[in-house]
Every structure is written in C-alpha cells, then in structure tokens.
Amino acid sequence: MATTRRTTCLALAWAAVLAAAAGGAQAQGYPNKPITLVVPNPPGGVVDTSARLVSDPLTKLLGQAVVVENKPGASGNVAYQQVARAPKDGYTVLASYSAYHVGNPSMFSKLPWAQADFAPVALVAAATNVITVHPSVPANNLKELIAYLKANPGKVNYASQGNGSLSHVGTALFEQQTGTQMVHVPYKGSGPAIQDVLAGQVQFFMTTPPSVMGHVQSGKLKAFAVTGKTRHPMLPNVPTTAEAGLAGFELEAWVGLFAPAGTPAPVVNELSAQVKKALDLPETKQRAATLGIEPRYLNPEQLGALVKKDTEYWGGVIRSRNISAN
C-alpha cells in the first residue's frame, strides 16, 4: 500500500513537472502569431479607446500584430462568451469593461459565462466620469442640480449606455445617495445617448469625459462635477464631487485584459509584463492624456483582487436598487 502511494505521488509530481515545462516552453515561443483583443463595446468608447491605446505599443514590443476586434451586443455577453470559449493559448484576450465584468453577474439571472471563465492578465486603464446636463436644466452647479432634482422628482430623464452599464448603475447610486429620482432612458452606447442629451430629449448624463469633453467646452452641455478623487486634466475647471459638495460619491470605470481560464501562467505573466512596458512608454502616457483616460497597471493577482472587491460592492448596489438587465 505504501509503495502504491509513493508511486502515485511520484506520478503526480512528474505530471506537474511536465505541465510546468510545457507552459514554460509555450511562453518562450509566445507570441508567434497575431493576438486578438476582443472588445465588448462599439468603436469610440472608453473600452475601445483603452484597447487601442495598448494594442499599438504591444504590437511593437511583441513583434506580432495585436488586433482589436469589436464584438458589441447583449450588454457585453457576446464578447465574453466568445473569449470564454476560445483556445487557452493567449491569442484571444478580452478587453473587459468593469461594469460588465463585475455587474452582469448580479444583473442577469442567467449568463453564458462566469468570472471563473477568465484569468486576469493586467489592468490597462481607468477613467473617471463626469456629471453633465443639458443647458435647459435650471442649475449652475451640483448643489443647485440636486436641489432641483429633489423639487422635481421624476421630471428629469437620464441617459445611460444601456441597462447595466456603469452610467446606469452609477446614476442609480447617485439617486440613492442624494435622495433624488429621475427617469432612466437606456441607449445602445454613448453615441446615441449624447445625441439625445444635446437635443434636450434627456437632460442628465453621467459618462466618461472623452465622450462629452468637446460639448462641454463648446457650451452645449454643462458639466457640474467629475466623479474621481482629482480633477480631470481636460476639464480643469470642473470640480470633483467632493469639491462640489457631494463627499463620498466616486465613480470610476476600468478596463482590464483577461485570457480564457486555463491559459498557461507563463503566457499570462509574459503578456502582463509586456502590457506594463507598453503603459510605461512616454508616448503611451501622452496619447492617453489627450484621450482623457488614465493608464493604470495591475498585475494578474492585483487585478483578480480588484474584481473580487468591485463585484461585492457593485453587486450590493445593483441588488439594493433592483436593477436587472433581463
């Protein structure tokens, strides 16, 4: 019996050595063909912009094309399902949007994917949000806006990029914290939402700065606060929510890269290391500043911890507000 146990242990140990050797060999030759970054959003938004921000320098660093493929649909679920079922070799990678990654599990009764289907690779970028309103709203700052909303419950419409998007959940959190009530009007992405906000058909939109900076600067929209800890470099005259009198309200979107679960750790670590190099390049930082996003790197372990923390937090918000994408 003891001999059998020793033989079994030796066999398991040898299998582990072989697996590690195979993973190491795969990492040494990685990549030897193009890598696809699957984006769950249409072109032009913060996720697509972040993916393209890192794809160009990665192409140069890796010596292989890093191609962005937009696969919008079903609140991101089309892209997530595609990557979850992709080969576990590091050549199909998800550019994941925080609202989908940590919000969808609480908003859908059934999902064609699970967080366990993905291996964290690296955080790429973070983006604050900005609270904007149509000029027809009779308010000149955030305090006046909140007072107006309290005096007119249900009379102001707010736009979102869709059910379950960060603008949806974030505005619901804003209503909860300020004791206000608006009418939700979901859109399929920022583009159509902004058009209706500019036309005055909806009056309130909380979104990432790149989507609305030009309209704020031209006076077509009023910006009352950014939802990060610091002011946005492209909107230096817009206060933070804390400066505007709404302490404790912060809303930040992030974009991270995830490989299919089971992708060899050496491959994941190699790709993560190259992402860090790409984000550290001065030209990457300069381009990110013009796009209104913040390059921010986390390694696989740190990104996994962020997913866990945000899933617990946003899951609580979603359940407390009875938000559902079904």
pLDDT tens-digit series, residues 63-106: 999 999 999 988 899 999 999 999 999 999 999 999 999 999 99
238 assigned to some structural domain? no
Structural domain range at position 267: 34-127+252-320
Query: What CATH number does residue 267 fall under?
Result: 3.40.190.150
Mean pLDDT over 13-36 rounds to 66
pLDDT level of residue 326 (50, 70, 90 thresholds): low
Q: Is the pLDDT of residue 18 over 80?
A: no
Whole-model pTM? 0.83
Whether the Cβ atoms of residue 160 and residue 171 lie closer than 8 Å to each other: yes
Give the model's pLDDT for residue 6: 53
- Do 139 and 73 lie in one domain? The reply is no
pLDDT level of residue 8 (50, 70, 90 thresholds): low
Whether the Cβ atoms of residue 130 and residue 225 lie closer than 8 Å to each other: yes
Whether the Cβ atoms of residue 172 and residue 321 lie closer than 8 Å to each other: yes
CA triplet 217, 223, 227: central angle to 5 degrees? 125
Task: Kindly report the average pLDDT of the chain as a whole number.
Answer: 90
- Helix, strand, or coil here: 168? helix
- Do 214 and 268 lie in one domain? The reply is no
Q: Is the pLDDT of residue 44 over 90?
A: no
CA triplet 257, 261, 262: central angle to 5 degrees? 125
Give the model's pLDDT for residue 25: 46
231 assigned to some structural domain? no
Number of domain units in the chain: 2
